Amino acid sequence: MDIQTCSLTASVTSQQERELAKWQADRDTWANTLPVMNFLSQFLTLTPVVAPSFDSASTDGRHLYFCPRYSASLSDESRRFLQAHLLWHCVAGHLTAPLVANHHRWHLACDHEVNALLLELGITLPFDALLFPVCVGRSARKVYRWLEGHPNTSLEKTADIHPAALWAHLPNTTPEQSTVTLWRHRAHLLARETDTLPERVAKFCESR
């Protein structure tokens, strides 16, 4: 390994450590401000990934994968939102996907469903976060059908890689059924926290 390669490797490692510290700090903040997020975050291992096929963030229900370079481009608000967003993909049962005709439209529907829940929890959404105001309160399946009337869904952007599509970007990351079941149990456990969860969020968790 030559000096230039060593320098590049050290730089990448340094960025990984720097970005990892930011994601962990966001969790530490939740410990004092949003106990429900602090509770959920313990179930995903923060995992920086440097790979040509991965330039975003996603989860398989056991790890929260993020590209350090992508992470570095995010504001503190956007990064914190993204971690919360991925956690609630797990709670919402989005680790797998039904057989749908349009995968991008399904991703949009799932993102909307999660972001509407985050609003209920008092989490700030970045200005470019996906949300269809007329559909707040609707399930992902109903939003998916509503989006059939969208003139051009390709114009709508997502901030992550849908968990059910992660396998196409990272090998050996297909969510296991046991993991899906665990998250369903966690959602039901959350549903009992009626004193700390907004009513609509509690009912959503109960229905998982």
Per-residue pLDDT of the chain (208 residues; tens, 9 = 90+): 443 333 335 556 889 999 999 999 999 999 999 999 999 999 999 999 999 999 999 999 999 999 999 999 999 999 999 999 999 999 999 999 998 999 999 999 999 999 999 999 999 999 999 999 999 999 999 999 999 998 889 899 999 999 999 999 999 999 999 999 999 999 999 999 777 899 999 999 999 9
pLDDT of residue 29: 95
Backbone angles phi, psi at 125, to 5 degrees: -95, 135
Give Cα 94 to chain centroid, integer Å. Answer: 9
Residue with tokens 């149990």: 185
Structure tokens of 35?
């106990």
From CA 80, how far away is CA 68, in angstroms rounded? 14
pLDDT of residue 13: 84
From CA 166, how far away is CA 158, in angstroms rounded? 14
Which residues are CB-contacts of 98 (< 8 A; sequence separation ≥ 6)?
A: 106, 141
From CA 104, how far away is CA 102, in angstroms rounded? 6
pLDDT of residue 195: 79
- Burial of residue 5 (CB within 10 Å: 0-12, 13-18, 19+) is exposed
Give which of 171, 195, 207 is closest to 49, Cα–Cα.
Answer: 171
Domain that holds residue 68: 3-206
Whether the model pTM is above 0.75: yes
The total domain count for the chain is 1
Give which of 116, 96, 121 is closest to 106, Cα–Cα.
Answer: 96
- How far, in Å, are 50, 133, 155, 182, 205 from residue 90 at the CA level? 23, 23, 25, 10, 11
> Are 105 and 147 within 8 A, CB to CB?
yes
